[in-house]
Each structure stands twice: as structure tokens, then as C-alpha cells.
């Protein structure tokens, strides 16, 4: 079965927006278009329920119900308990608060494993928090050629003192999937907790956390066709163990312990609407079962559509002598692990920002820079001040858009 791309695109108002007509969007790793379900839910909340939620009058009760529904729908989709779903302003804020809680739980002699493959949001605060607690930071470094993480090397970093291990499900530069299941099992075997940054992975494949078994899993809904919020799953036993970061009188409320700010009611209420999109897409393709089953089937369709589009793009880039393709160089469909269509290239004799500007004049939206993965870009031997050219797409991208990108790249870079 193949993904019905026309059906998909009809669910995204950006594709019928006159000011965007003719533009190919390849900066999805920075933030995706929103589906119409998300936009309608936000609009509805602001028109009908913009009052204090969980109160004594109908508009308020409906507001609270919409917020609860988002928790419930995401919990069922991700395969976790409702109390394990936390919405915060962004992944960076979620990791910041989490790092503070972790810092309060660490002591001298404890160890925390971090990588240099991450976006800084996933390790910056944790690095500082580990040092502040007097604990030891253990670096698990990427291969300087491919940028990939070797699971065997993690084995050598784990000790009886390791308390936390953190890594990305996929990097926002190289796109290769890390085997969360395998890495979590290794860390758990050593008695450590696992924190996974799923920001660059979730837009391509909605994770099933019952299978992946990470203790914390984070992603950004604004890159996943939804609202500008960060979704953080924290396993209940860990949330109970970590010191409360909210008001002292809310310490007994799991969903307030790690999100101290008052929630953005409208965005939380609209956060679950993207699940309605996934469900509708699943129904259209004949999928049945639980929400997590449907999300898994829809994700498989997304991945095969994306992989089919990735092949010609990778082949075209590989044929350009002035371009170094970062990450895995194998065809997208080979190997066990998925390769997200987040393609970063280093340019031998052009400034990536100049090329991004040139592509914009051809109605192509692409990004340039280090994308806050400065450690990774430097580890790959690239000048971070210039960074890389990043071409990232998702399941709503069409073959015609990829072809538009390829011919523009061929003219600009060959």
C-alpha cells in the first residue's frame, strides 16, 4: 500500500495557501506545517473556551475536558499512562526543568552519559546540572566521519555508578535512527535511567513507548503537525522519585511536579487534534485497532513514502563532488534502522547560507547553520560558523517538490 499523498496534502491548509503556492518546503526539521485539525482546534478553543479551565461553568468545564482529552489521546497513542504525559512550552524548557530535578537527585560519584550527537537542548542543561551536583559527565562521542553513535562504545561507558544515559532517537543533522530499544536495554541492565530526545524522529514515526522502554521521551509538537508545545513522557516511578519542581502544595500532583509553569491552556487543548488527523489518515487507508496500532500503521506508510523520496535526493547529492553528505550513506531502504529524511550536507567551496539564499530565489525553503547541534557539526570537522546546508522533509512532501529541489541543487552546486 502507498500513502495517498493528495489526501494527506488536502489536510494541510499550507498547501492551498496562495502566498505559499509554488514554494517547496524543506525546513521541516525546524518546524512542520500544521494539519487543519490542529488549526481548527486552536480556533475553537479561542472562540468558545478562552476562560479559566477546570472551573464551575460550562465553558470552563469544556476547556478542561479538551485539555484532558489531549493527555488521554497522546497517552493511548504513545502507549503510556495518562499521568506520564507532560506538556511544557518547548523541549528545551522540558529538558531544563528535568535537568534541575536530576541535579537535585545526583551526588558525587554518580555518572551521567551524554553524547555529542544531540541538539544542545538535550544535553546543555543536563551537562551543567551534572557538574553542579558534583557528579561525573561521561562523553559518548560520535564517529567523526559518519556522525553515528556506536552502541558498543556505550557498553564501555556504563558502570554501576551510571544514573542517567541520554541520546537522540535521531539527530537533527544526520537523520539516522538510533536503536532506542537496544540502547535502553543496555542502560537498564546497568541500572541507569534513559532519556531520549525524539524531536527529530517523532515527525516521521510516532513512537510506541511500550516497546522502546525509555524512562523519559521528549519531542516537540510544533514539528509534529501540531501546536507549539513540548511533549515529555516521564515514567511515573521516575517522576515520583525526582524532587518536585513545582509549587510545594502541588507535590502530590504528578502532572505538576515537572512542569512548574502554568500550562498554555489553548495549546494543550489543541495538542490532541493531530491524533484526529492520524486517525483519519488511518481510516482512509483501511487501518483498524487501538490508537497506537493505527499510529504504527500510519507511521509505516509515512516512512516508506519518505524513503522513496529520499533515494533520488541522496543519489543526486552523492553525484556532486563539491558536497559531503553527512550521516549514513547507504540507500534509505537498506539496513534495519530507519533514516529520517533530514539531510545535511557540508559544502566544500560555498557558504551554506549563500546557497540557502540562492535556493530561496528559486522558491525553495531550506536551512543553513549548525542548528544548535554545534558539538556534532564540530565533531564532523565542519566549521560551525558556516555549518551545513539542511534539506529536511516529511510525509506530506511530494515527489514533484523533491524534483524541484534536486534540479535547483544541480544548477547551484554542480
Ligand X SMILES: Cc1ncc(COP(=O)(O)O)c(C=O)c1O
Closest CB to ligand X among residues 193, 370: 370
Taking CB atoms within 8 Å and a gap of at least 24, the contacts of 42-51 are 42/227, 42/266, 42/267, 42/270, 45/265, 45/266, 45/269, 45/270, 46/266, 49/265, 49/266, 49/269, 50/266
Shortest Cβ distance from residue 297 to ligand X (Å)?
A: 25
Mark 325-349 as b/e (b = at least 16 C-beta within 10 Å): bbbbeeebeeeeebbbbbbbbbbee
Q: Is 217 helix (H, G, I), strand (E, B) or coil?
A: strand
Binding of ligand X by 105 (CB under 6 A): no
For position 203 contacting ligand X by CB under 6 A, the verdict is no
Using CA of residue 224, residue 226, residue 232, residue 233, what is the dihedral sign?
A: negative
- 172 is an interface residue for ligand X by CB under 6 A: yes
Distance in Å, CB of 217 to ligand X, minimum? 12
Q: Which is nearer to ligand X, 168 or 263 (CB)?
A: 168
Site for ligand X in 108-127 (CB under 6 A): 119, 121-122
Residue 168 as a binder of ligand X (CB under 6 A): the answer is yes
Q: Counting contacts by CB under 6 A, is residue 90 touching ligand X?
A: yes
Burial (CB count <10 Å: 0-12, 13-18, 19+), residue 30: middle
Q: Which is nearer to ligand X, 122 or 255 (CB)?
A: 122
Q: What is the closest distance, in whole angstroms, from the C-beta atom of residue 74 to ligand X in the complex?
A: 16
CA distance linking residue 193 with residue 388, whole number of Å: 33
Q: Which of 92, 103, 115, 123 binds ligand X (CB under 6 A)?
A: 92
Residue with smaller CB distance to ligand X, 231 or 408: 231
| Contact residue for ligand X among 113, 133, 199, 233 (CB under 6 A) | 199
Sign of the dihedral defined by the CA atoms of residues 208, 210, 215, 221, in that order: positive
Q: Answer whether 113's CB lies under 8 Å from 140's CB.
A: yes
The reply to whether 343 sits near ligand X by the rule CB under 6 A is no
Count residues contacting ligand X (CB under 6 A)?
13
DSSP 132-161: HTTPEEEEEPPPTTT-PPPHHHHHHH--TT
Q: Least Å distance between CB 247 and ligand X?
A: 24
Q: Which of 254, 170, 200 is nearest to 27 (CA)?
A: 200
Site string for ligand X, 303-342 (x = CB under 6 A): ----------------------------------------
- Between 168 and 387, name the residue whose CB sits nearer to ligand X: 168
Residue 45 corresponds to which cell in the numbers above? 478553543
Residue 267 as a binder of ligand X (CB under 6 A): the answer is no
177 part of the interface to ligand X, by CB under 6 A:
no
Q: Shortest approach of ligand X to residue 160 CB, angstroms?
A: 30
CB of 30 to ligand X, least distance (A): 6
> Rounded to whole angstroms, what are the CA distances from 48 to 114, 275, 360?
45, 21, 39
Helix (H) or strand (E) holding 308: helix 291-318
Residues 204-233 that bind ligand X (CB under 6 A): 220, 230
Chain residues in the site for ligand X (CB under 6 A):
90-92, 119, 121-122, 168, 172, 197, 199-200, 220, 230
Amino acid at each position: 500500500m502507498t500513502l495517498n499523498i493528495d489526501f494527506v496534502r488536502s489536510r494541510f491548509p499550507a498547501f492551498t495557501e496562495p502566498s505559499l503556492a509554488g514554494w517547496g518546503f524543506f525546513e521541516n526539521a525546524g518546524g512542520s506545517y500544521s494539519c487543519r485539525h490542529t488549526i481548527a482546534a486552536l480556533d475553537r478553543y479561542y472562540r468558545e473556551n478562552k476562560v479559566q479551565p477546570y472551573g464551575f461553568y460550562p465553558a470552563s468545564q469544556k476547556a478542561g475536558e479538551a485539555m484532558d482529552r489531549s493527555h488521554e489521546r497522546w497517552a493511548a497513542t504513545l502507549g503510556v499512562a495518562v499521568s506520564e504525559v507532560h506538556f511544557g512550552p518547548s523541549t528545551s524548557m522540558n529538558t531544563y526543568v528535568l535537568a534541575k530535578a536530576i541535579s537535585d537527585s545526583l551526588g558525587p560519584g554518580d555518572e551521567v552519559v551524554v553524547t555529542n550527537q544531540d541538539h544542545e537542548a538535550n544535553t546543555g542543561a543536563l551537562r551543567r546540572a551534572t557538574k553542579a551536583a558534583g557528579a561525573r559527565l561521561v562523553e559518548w562521542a560520535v564517529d567523526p566521519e559518519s556522525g553515528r553513535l556506536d552502541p558498543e562504545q556505550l557498553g564501555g561507558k556504563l558502570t554501576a555508578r551510571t544514573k542517567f544515559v541520554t541520546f537522540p532517537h535521531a539527530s537533527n543533522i544526520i537523520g539516522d535512527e538510533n536503536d532506542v530499544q537496544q540502547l535502553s536495554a543496555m542502560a537498564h541492565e546497568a541500572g541507569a535511567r534513559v532519556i531520549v530526545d525524539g524531536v527529530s524522529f517523532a515527525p516521521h514515526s510516532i513512537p510506541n513507548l511500550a516497546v522502546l522502554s525509555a524512562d523519559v521521551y521528549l519531542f516537540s509538537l510544533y514539528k509534529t503537525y501540531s501546536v507549539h508545545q513540548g511533549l515529555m513522557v516521564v515514567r511515573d516511578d521516575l517522576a515520583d522519585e525526582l524532587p518536585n519542581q513545582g509549587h510545594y502544595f502541588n507535590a502530590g500532583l504528578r502532572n505538576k511536579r515537572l512542569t512548574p509553569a502554568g500550562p498554555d491552556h489553548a495549546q494543550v487543548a489543541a495538542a490532541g487534534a493531530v491524533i484526529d488527523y492520524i486517525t483519519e489518515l488511518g481510516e482512509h487507508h483501511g487501518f483498524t485497532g487501538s490508537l497506537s496500532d493505527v499510529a504504527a500503521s500510519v507511521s509505516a506508510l509515512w516512512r516508506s513514502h519518505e524513503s522513496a523520496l529520499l533515494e533520488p535526493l541522496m543519489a543526486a547529492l552523492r553525484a556532486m563532488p563539491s558536497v559531503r553528505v553527512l550521516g549514513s550513506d547507504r540507500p534509505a531502504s537498506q539496513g534495519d534502522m530507519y533514516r529520517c529524511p533530514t539531510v545535511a550536507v557540508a559544502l566544500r567551496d560555498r557558504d551554506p547560507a549563500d546557497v540557502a539564499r540562492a535556493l530561496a530565489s528559486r522558491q525553495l525553503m531550506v536551512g543553513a547553520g549548525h542548528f544548535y547541534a554545534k558539538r556534532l557539526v564540530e565533531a564532523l570537522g565542519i566549521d560551525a560558523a558556516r555549518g551545513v546546508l539542511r534539506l529536511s522533509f516529511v510525509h506530506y512532501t511530494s515527489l514533484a517538490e523533491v524534483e524541484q529541489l534536486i534540479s535547483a541543487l544541480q544548477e547551484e552546486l554542480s
